[in-house]
Amino acid sequence: MTKEKTKMILDRLDEEYGTTKEGFLHQADWQLLTAIMLSAQSTDKQVDEVLPSLWERFPDIEAVMQASVEEVENAIKSIGLYKVKARNIKKCCEKLWKEYDKKVPKKIEELVGLPGVGRKTATLFLADAYGVSGVTVDTHVFRISRRIGWAEGKNPAQVEKELMKALPEEHWNRINFQLIYHGRSVCTARKTHCESCALEQWCEKRV
């Protein structure tokens, strides 16, 4: 795909979905990381609904460490995979306490070593917390970037590298939420609604 075509697609995505997203409610870096961990396979709306009561119950890392896993589970019960996430949140806080002086590390190599934190979560955290440029490849980004012709990779790691080459760096952080919105409303996994797609004229319609 040419740079000119890519620019037109990016401009349209900016028009359709904006260039910034609202961040999760948080006061400390560990809370932001926790919120992003909760968002995996859940909607931002679901996460937003539990955060106020979650932070009231667990205002600091010490509160999480002192609580049982069951208490954490009960606080996030409306979130998908809440049992797994509760265990990971507690283990993550314990590791932050013991190894990082209660601060979330700023290096992706250290972030992915935390319980429950994969590359996608780490990249999103660095982007939201510090504005570090990075492409986050979730199921929507993976599917749509291959459909429109930006990538051909067979796994998220390959697509991430392809998108970093195809897209200007200033678009890396926002391509994730833009394609999430597009993937939920128009270019869905179950069916492509090409007749109402703002990108249809440039799409290569790959599977």
Active site residues: 120, 138
CA 131 to chain centre: 14
Q: Which residues contact 36 (CB under 8 A, 6 or more apart)?
A: 24, 121, 124, 125, 128
